[in-house]
Amino acid sequence: MSNHVHLMLYQEDEKAIHVFMKSLLTSYGMYFNKKYDYVGPVFQSRYRAVRIDNQSYYEHISRYIHMNPKNWLEYPYSSLVHYRSSRSPEWLDTTTILNMFDNNIEQYMDFLSDYKDHKELMEDLKWQLADNPDF
């Protein structure tokens, strides 16, 4: 994913995400532009934040983030590698999601894989509709 990232963050106070994202995106933009002698925005658009207020939505967002890269099972920059192993960095909480699946990574991976066919069908339909305006 060369022009965007997905983050699922827990926010303790009202302004935390805004301050964090401003700092992160500004710092990374400056680093990237200097390193690659580039000028202008690095990311596709401004960040968006959505409040996750129920378990079903939480599960769906987790699935969406993990399956967003085309090669989602092998994508090296995904947190999924930490969900699939017994270790994760201190800053990453895999237990919240895995507890929704009885702390069973196989159940979570099945949850992701079950959606794969549906996701591919929806992608095909999107392009069919775009290619046929009379449909």
Given this model, what pLDDT does residue 59 score?
A: 93
Q: Give the separation between CA 98 and CA 17, rounded to whole angstroms.
A: 24
In this structure, are 134 and 93 located in the same domain? yes
**Cα 54 versus chain centre, distance:** 18
pLDDT of 66 > 60? The answer is: yes
Given this model, what pLDDT does residue 54 score?
A: 92
- Residue 134: band (very low, low, confident or very high) from pLDDT cuts 50, 70, 90: low
Quote the mean pLDDT of the chain.
88
In this structure, are 76 and 125 located in the same domain? yes
In this structure, are 41 and 63 located in the same domain? no
Residue matched to tokens 């930490």: 82
User: 43 is in which domain, residue-wise?
Assistant: 1-49
